[in-house]
Amino acid sequence: MNEEYEAVREAVRALTEKEIAPYAAEVDELERFPHEAQTALTSSGFHAVHIPEAYGGQGADAVATCIVIEEVARVCASSSLIPAVNKLATMGLLLAGSEQLNRQVLPAVAAGSMACYALSEREAGSDAAAMRTRARLHGNHWVLNGTKCWISNAGQATWYTVMAVTDPDQGAKGISAFAVHKDDPGFSVGPKERKLGIRGSPTREIYFEDCTIPENRIIGEPGTGFKTALATLDHTRPTIGAQAVGIAQGAVDAAIAYVKQRKQFGKSIADFQGVQFMLADMAMKTEAARQLVYFAAAGAERGEGKVGFLSSASKCFASDVAMEVTTDAVQLFGGYGYTRDFPVERMMRDAKITQIYEGTNQIQRLVMARALLNS
């Protein structure tokens, strides 16, 4: 880690401790959007650091972006979805969008507008190619019909990257990607899902009822949407790994502070070897996950051959570590860890989703196995 990366970490940590951490418990308890985090991240330029300078962004590389997401997740996983989803939603544009479309969308996101990513449907989760949302060209407009689900930050976003079938006879090769604006006619959002964790990040269905958008809002050529979606995930799965690392680090930090001050049998429980071994394992696995995430992120940016394997590995390993570490943190807190008076129960709930979204960890293992067998 060079000095530039460490400077990014120090700046984000100072911001999160002051502007985001004080509201994390309330955001979770009330299941409200973290407006304070959005304001703080936007004013500091950390809400979408990956956007190139040519479009008004910071031009941060993949590792720096992961550091930002990690440090925000360390205090509030819900808030970390602001920079994470902004990257997820705009990566397809950076990979395949026309210059005209990029000029329309990316400067707005760089200036503070939020973006969403719409791939999943109720009957097309892991099997994303089975989607039913349709888009047909009518004159000089595309007309979309269908429903997308599990859309993180829906209702808060201005722009939505949407996958829809344009040629039903071509399977995955008949899927195209589009940029939809929240004010486009025929577009609407549904009620919030009632979730276990990341409760400050709204998750909603979005609806397209003869939703009409200009012809030039297609991302790339017709039929290339699914390819763009897979390429996007190669770049963004490490960001979910970064979120998981941040959650795990937050749990490690909280556990260390607690065991130092908690006394049993006349001494601090930090003096007990059993507790020390748990802490050592938690920190060791968190650091291993962090290094794999950074390595995968850097590899994806360079376009290295093993990018699919490494991206899946980083997301899978880091999220499994986050679930294990937060569970151990709750254990170290004892009965107090099971209450909402301390942050580790929230971290444990938040960690679970990292094993599910952007491809379940079972799917990640399939991706990795296929990469190994086809090499």
- Cα distances from 301 to residues 9, 62, 65, 177, in angstroms, run 20, 6, 11, 21
Beta bridge partners of 88: none
In whole angstroms, what is the distance from residue 37 CA to residue 201 CA? 11
Nearest partner of 46 among 30, 31, 65, judged by Cα: 65
Q: State the pairing for strand pair 175-181/218-219.
A: antiparallel
Task: With beta carbons less than 8 A apart as the criterion, state whether 293 and 314 touch.
Answer: yes
In whole angstroms, what is the distance from residue 361 CA to residue 355 CA? 6
In whole angstroms, what is the distance from residue 152 CA to residue 136 CA? 26
Positive or negative torsion for Cα 94, 84, 27, 190 = positive
The conformation of residue 158, written as its DSSP 8-state character, comes to S
Beta bridge partners of 214: 141
In whole angstroms, what is the distance from residue 322 CA to residue 340 CA? 19
Q: State the pairing for strand pair 263-264/267-268.
A: antiparallel
Which residues have a catalytic role annotated? 358
